[in-house]
Structure 1
Amino acid sequence: MRRLAPNLFDVNNRLYAHLLFWVAYYFYRVYMYIEYYEYSPITQFVELPVKVAVVYVHMYFLMPRLLRHKKYFYYGISLISLVFVATVLQSEVVRGMIASGIYQFNPEFLYSPRKFSATASHITMILFVTSAIKIMKDQYLLQQKLQKVESQRLRNELTFLKTQINPHFFFNTLNNLYSLVLNKSDKAADAILKLSSLMEYVIYESDKKKVSLQSEVKHLQDYVELEKLRFGTELKLEMVLPEEVAGYDIPPMLLIPLVENCFKHGKPDKNGLFTINIEATIKGKHLCFSTYNTKVSHPIERGKATSHYGVGLQNVMRRIELIYGKRADFNIKELPESFSLTVQLPLEDQRKEVPLEA
């Protein structure tokens, strides 16, 4: 997307900004003293180069080389010396105007304690103002840079977290397909097509920011059908999916790992029955997705309830947090012989984009 407004801190724009500042400063000084000095425009114009020089020496030499590196003693000495030299130079400029007949007063007044301290105070004030502007500008640029780095870090993390389906699944499915082919089963051809489609989705579609909910659900169904080949009759599976899912987008590979976790970590219960329930419903502008699976009974250690969830599930939880922030809801319920989760995600119209949240 092209930026509509120019960057104020680009080199060319920065030059214009500096020029505008000094022009504004010049007219401000003329306005302040025109009532007292008839030749204020000339005086301010002649004094301006001294002030410009001292400001840029301070901003681009003393601040970056001494103040930024916390060399406070040397910075203080250098600042005092700079103000002193600038005060003398400005006084000499005015002395030259007196010599040329523009001003009619005793030149010794320029070095009187009152006049000298007033000139030094004014130079110090302009250094303070310009330094404050530079510090605010540097802080703004730093903040912009940090936001850009953080945004890139989150995007890199999201890319990393888009983990593919466990490779063991593909190996196991290929073994099952091999058995089906050997037995000349009618299911072999359909299983190969499903596996091919799923692999294409995992490899090529997972890099996208979003895919259609219809595509995610379709490949979820393919994944479940392939897993059913592995477990055969020992698996009792119930899956309820909405009939109408068109018109919505969702980040890719967000639902499939949730189901993969059921097959990977689920086990038959004490009665020898391996049960998995999958349900997805659309309520208003939200997708409610839940899974349930039986597992081996074992004591749940305090503080370690998520230790057996698997990296895939933890990655999905982190992805949901990064993409949706507080707009999503993720609940997990673990019992000695069962594990269930429910995730509620805001659905986005295909014409809109899901904002990235930190």
Structure 2
Amino acid sequence: MSAVSQPFKFDKYAKIEIAFFAFVSFCVPLLSDLEYSFNEQPEQFSTSYYSVNVIRRLVWGSYHFFAYYLFYLLAIKRLLLKKKYFYFLLAFAGFVVFMEFFIKYGMYGTISKMNFLPAQLRTEAQKFSRSNGRLSFTISYLMLQVVQMTALGYFVHQDRQDKQLRELQRLQAEADLRHLKAQLQPHFFFNTLNNIYSLALQRSELTAPLVSKLSDMMRYVIYESDHQKVRLKNEVRFINNYIDVQSVRYSERISIRFDTQGIDDTAAIEPLLLLPFIENAFKHGTENETAEGFIDIVVCLTGQEFTLSVANSRVPQAVSTPAGIGLATTKKRLAILYPGKHSLTIDSTSSVYKILLTLMLD
């Protein structure tokens, strides 16, 4: 059986709209009457306000709530917000005519026959329902109400669009992360397995520690990186394992330094956010290096400010080499995850490539 669509979904925006119309239809008139009676008719305030005015505003407000909320749903949300301006103007003209008949005959006509209401209210309603030659409401007040409803409609519409945009950005960030992981796993792990195989043939003592580090890294990528955020210390440990594994390939001719400062157990960060910068230093800073080169990596946490500094040597012919996998993706992730809360500086010369990343962590 196909699902039946719900045109008026009762979500948080519907609650906001109902609260707005309840406030405008009941609270504002009650407060206005209260202020007027207290300042202009103090002698009648204690005797007539609670017995008549409150009931009057509650009854009248119920009718106004229905009429204005219906116009809001049918005209403002379905016509004005969808930029159907001509049809909205026709709807507004029809609403003016509708309100005249609705108030005079729908509201006053029915109130005059409600015997359970105070006699004063029924008499007033009967008088207004029989009046001729003038509108039963003020056009300027009606236009003010429409302006207020329009402001509400645009607020709800904009907030809903912002929410959808944030959700799309979140999904994009997750897709980018999955893409990065898909690239990382075959790109890195197969190369590392080849290194382990070579070490095993040489019966090197580094084989077992390398297998352990690779296992830890695979566990992190497959399981922990599925979380929205991970502990910063776990991300740093993953980077440390990555550097140790890569160092096996370059230890003889490359000086590699990794320093951590202030990393604690409380800070959290998005998974695999730092790896592309480290990977880029190895892939494009050392693979083409024939002489002695270097890679310097420093991670530092000071309060909520996290800093990653990466510097590596490079040979002149490698200057035009494209950035490592995931670097462009990481820039997009940073823009989505840390809008206005990050800075990325890249300094590239013929011999040295440097990046400085600063994040304000939550």
TM-score (norm 1): 0.70
Answer yes or no: is 1:161 the counterpart of 2:161: no
Show structure 2 runs of 5+ residues with no match.
1-10, 42-47, 114-121
| Paired letter, 1:343 | L
1:201 to 220, 232, 257: 220
2:167 to 127, 134, 152: 152
Answer yes or no: is 1:177 the counterpart of 2:182: no
| Paired letter, 2:349 | L
1: CA distance, partners of 2:35 / 2:303:
64
2: CA distance, partners of 1:176 / 1:129:
75
2: CA distance, partners of 1:81 / 1:75:
10
| Paired letter, 1:345 | L
1: CA distance, partners of 2:202 / 2:266:
41
Answer yes or no: is 1:245 the counterpart of 2:263: yes
SS in 2 for 1:254: coil
2: CA distance, partners of 1:180 / 1:44:
87
- For residue 197 of structure 1, report the CA deviation from its aligned partner: 0.5
Answer yes or no: is 1:136 the counterpart of 2:151: yes
Coordinate RMSD, CA, aligned: 4.4
2: CA distance, partners of 1:240 / 1:45:
72
Cα 1:237/1:151, change in 2 over 3 Å: same
SS in 1 for 2:228: coil
> Is the Cα contact below 8 Å between 2:314 and 2:352 reproduced in 1?
yes
- For residue 175 of structure 1, report the CA deviation from its aligned partner: 1.1
Answer yes or no: is 1:10 the counterpart of 2:25: no
1: CA distance, partners of 2:302 / 2:36:
67
Answer yes or no: is 1:78 the counterpart of 2:78: no
- Counterpart mapping for 1:92-111 below 5 A: 93=109, 110-111=131-132
Aligned residues: 323
The answer for the alignment partner of 1:59 in structure 2 is 72
Cα 1:8/1:24, change in 2 over 3 Å: farther
The answer for the alignment partner of 1:351 in structure 2 is none
Which digits, 9 at most, give the CA deviation of each residue in 1:285-310, with x for residues without a partner?
5443222222342597xxxx8x8223
- Counterpart mapping for 1:322-341 below 5 A: 322-341=336-355
2: CA distance, partners of 1:171 / 1:108:
86
2: CA distance, partners of 1:45 / 1:345:
54
| Paired letter, 1:75 | A
Cα 1:343/1:73, change in 2 over 3 Å: closer
Cα 1:335/1:57, change in 2 over 3 Å: closer
| Paired letter, 2:264 | A
Cα 1:27/1:89, change in 2 over 3 Å: farther
> Is the Cα contact below 8 Å between 2:334 and 2:342 reproduced in 1?
yes
The answer for the alignment partner of 2:245 in structure 1 is 226
- For residue 43 of structure 1, report the CA deviation from its aligned partner: 8.7
Cα 1:67/1:174, change in 2 over 3 Å: closer
The answer for the alignment partner of 2:281 in structure 1 is 262
TM-score (norm 2): 0.69
Cα 1:299/1:21, change in 2 over 3 Å: same
Which digits, 9 at most, give the CA deviation of each residue in 1:19-62, with x for residues without a partner?
88247647857997998xx9x86998997787566545533444
Q: Which moved more, 1:200-209 or 1:280-289?
A: 280-289
Answer yes or no: is 1:291 the counterpart of 2:310: yes
Show structure 1 runs of 5+ residues with no match.
1-5, 349-353
Cα 1:188/1:140, change in 2 over 3 Å: same
- For residue 179 of structure 1, report the CA deviation from its aligned partner: 1.8
- For residue 258 of structure 1, report the CA deviation from its aligned partner: 1.5
Which digits, 9 at most, give the CA deviation of each residue in 1:109-159, with x for residues without a partner?
9323xxx14x35x2x345334433433333332233223223322322332
The answer for the alignment partner of 2:119 in structure 1 is none
2: CA distance, partners of 1:241 / 1:204:
26
- For residue 244 of structure 1, report the CA deviation from its aligned partner: 5.7
Indicate the percent of aligned positions where both proteins have the same amino acid.
Answer: 21
The answer for the alignment partner of 1:21 in structure 2 is 25
Cα 1:297/1:133, change in 2 over 3 Å: same
Cα 1:111/1:48, change in 2 over 3 Å: farther
- For residue 270 of structure 1, report the CA deviation from its aligned partner: 7.5
- For residue 319 of structure 1, report the CA deviation from its aligned partner: 3.1
Which digits, 9 at most, give the CA deviation of each residue in 1:48-79, with x for residues without a partner?
78756654553344445555532145325423
| Paired letter, 1:156 | L
- For residue 172 of structure 1, report the CA deviation from its aligned partner: 0.9
- Counterpart mapping for 1:290-329 below 5 A: 290-298=309-317, 308-329=322-343
Cα 1:126/1:55, change in 2 over 3 Å: farther
Answer yes or no: is 1:214 the counterpart of 2:233: yes
The answer for the alignment partner of 1:186 in structure 2 is 205
